[in-house]
Structure 1
């Protein structure tokens, strides 16, 4: 039986934030035990009183877990829980990691080398240009660019990163509710070469109180946060403060002192954020060698584990498949097999769940 579905139940219980869910997990040990616990047992957990335990019992009776799993499958949505080894390492180590993250696209071990770029929705032309160029340059250096898919700086950062590498968009709504709606096409592009994620159940509307929760995920997924433009009171400054609380680096782009969009970033620099004039100002602050060593070790362990049950021919082809989509002809050029032989081997790897075939006769490693 799929016990992961009980995690879906937990995040659909009303009035339970990530900290209370953590208290429940610390007491019961796993999501299934929480789901099946009696009211008397629930009341033994810190912050779970009589009223809250009654709500939990009532909600459990009304939630169809199998239907929720079915809907995710229908929409092509994957999810990771705090119990899963693949759950992002940096996010897992913040104060209040989301119990479940939903995603479309692919999350990889290399997303450990990541930086978030955030800023004003009502950005200037200068801010948009800087965010786009900076994201492209950092993506070219191997960074995954994290942002919030909002209008303005976020959108420019995603677009810049897509030119050279990977980007991950974090929604403040359910993963099936794209906000803002004009970024629907951008979301599709990101899913093809990166990932779009959400910590909210399907169908969650983009309410204002969702965005601080989303912001902690943006900063939590990243080694550091770069603020390009921000007014004096801004969600981007919330993200920067969350990054500091999480022990991550904070960087800021200096701005025109006559513009409202520069007040927040210039204040950040005054209070200790690293001023950025080029990507070298960022690279010098990050111990990337240690992180790359961790990634290489993880990748090698996964590679050996995945290849255990492969034939020699399958292993040779699998070694050539990357986590980003590759065209059939490009794979063919790297192996000593005919087109028909390669087709047969790719089909076997797909059946084993190790690779995925995409539109345009392209292939990538499965998540």
Structure 2
């Protein structure tokens, strides 16, 4: 779009008190935003409230600065990384999001240029993976491995760039994109709650750069928007709305991930949940979802049965990806120790009692398993088995 058209869309989003629903009514009646701002206050008041009409005829104080900032941002894309402002009037606007109750007027998008040049949200090929910001070691590994297997099968993994499960899901999808069998769609997309000129949390700065290089970063918030707490629950409707289904890996009962799951249900999307220990607070949200009708998931195949991949190439890899999510049976001498450890965190004293090993031998074997990535050392001197999913 040209600068004038961009200015019209930005002014519409900045108009005080004019929400998405009111803006859509105005667009339906008058066409592009430029036509809206050519109307008199009296004419506008026939479609929206008097207060909204007054706001629309006044130029927002921050509009000129935002237009200049956004225009410069669009023109300063790096090599291989594109930037775009995709509006409701753009042919690239995701069809899945248009079908939701409250689609954003504008999406700011940044990422690999090859995805921006086309319909960057493949219809029916996206899965949201969400969960706790403080997952167990097994929960983070589940998110990574499920994302990797499902991405190899042809699904684009969408999450929110938060710490914990979100970051692990993005990492798994990026690992899948290095495979020769990658089906040729964006491996992962991060829907963030800030402007795209900011990264939150800062700990995920490197991850955000790698997503931009291979996938896409998406936001409905103008450049310069800081990480406001109210923005993150709101952006969850975009995560679920872009996706055909939502997989919840770990979540407490008060988790924001349950907001995403509820929104997905309201949007008519599938919801999946991975069960966990009955003793873990991080599993109670998933168990609640399963009781409410979410599909219990143990392998990638459980997801693929409900969300068949749309491309022939992706389908060719679906069976292999599902096999990759089956529990591993290594057959090593340490299997007896893993069996004694079970799947809940356990301390040394309890393991000594269960195995009958002396303390020195047990410590050596635990260290070996830790180095092999089969056991995680947790705070408080606890150990947890990491099952290959």
TM-score interval w.r.t. the shorter chain? Answer: 0.7 to 0.9
Q: Which residue of 2 aligns with 1:196?
A: 217
Matches of residues 27-176 of structure 1 in structure 2 within 5 Å? 27-45=29-47, 48-60=48-60, 63-64=63-64, 66-76=67-77, 77-105=83-111, 106-107=115-116, 108-109=118-119, 111-112=122-123, 113-165=125-177, 166-176=187-197
Report the alpha carbon displacement of residue 56 of structure 1 after superposing the two structures with TM. Answer: 2.5
Once residues 275 and 76 of structure 2 are traced to their aligned partners in structure 1, the CA distance between those partners, rounded to angstroms, is 42
Write the deviation string for residues 238-269 of structure 1: whole angstroms up to 9, x where unpaired: 10011111111100000111111111101100
Q: Which residue of 2 aligns with 1:339?
A: none
Report the alpha carbon displacement of residue 3 of structure 1 after superposing the two structures with TM. Answer: 2.3
Q: Which residue of 2 aligns with 1:214?
A: 235
Once residues 308 and 153 of structure 2 are traced to their aligned partners in structure 1, the CA distance between those partners, rounded to angstroms, is 14
Q: Which residue of 2 aligns with 1:267?
A: 288
**2:10, 2:67 within 8 Å by CA — same for their partners in 1?**
no
Aligned residues: 290
TM-score by length of 1: 0.75
**1:8, 1:68 within 8 Å by CA — same for their partners in 2?**
no
Write the deviation string for residues 262-299 of structure 1: whole angstroms up to 9, x where unpaired: 111011001100010011111111244xx449x9xxxx
Once residues 290 and 146 of structure 2 are traced to their aligned partners in structure 1, the CA distance between those partners, rounded to angstroms, is 18
Which sections of structure 1, spanning at least 5 residues, go unmatched? 296-367
Once residues 176 and 125 of structure 1 are traced to their aligned partners in structure 2, the CA distance between those partners, rounded to angstroms, is 31
Write the deviation string for residues 82-117 of structure 1: whole angstroms up to 9, x where unpaired: 111111121121111111100111345463311000
Task: Choose which of 22, 25, 50 in structure 1 pairs with 2:24.
Answer: 22
Over aligned residues, Cα RMSD in angstroms? 2.0
Once residues 92 and 202 of structure 1 are traced to their aligned partners in structure 2, the CA distance between those partners, rounded to angstroms, is 23
Task: Choose which of 240, 264, 273 in structure 2 pairs with 1:243.
Answer: 264
Closer/same/farther in 2, CA of residues 61 and 37 from structure 1, 3 Å limit: farther
Q: Which residue of 2 aligns with 1:177?
A: 198
Once residues 62 and 284 of structure 1 are traced to their aligned partners in structure 2, the CA distance between those partners, rounded to angstroms, is 49
Once residues 153 and 250 of structure 2 are traced to their aligned partners in structure 1, the CA distance between those partners, rounded to angstroms, is 23
Report the alpha carbon displacement of residue 222 of structure 1 after superposing the two structures with TM. Answer: 0.5
Question: Is 1:187 aligned to 2:208, yes or no?
Answer: yes
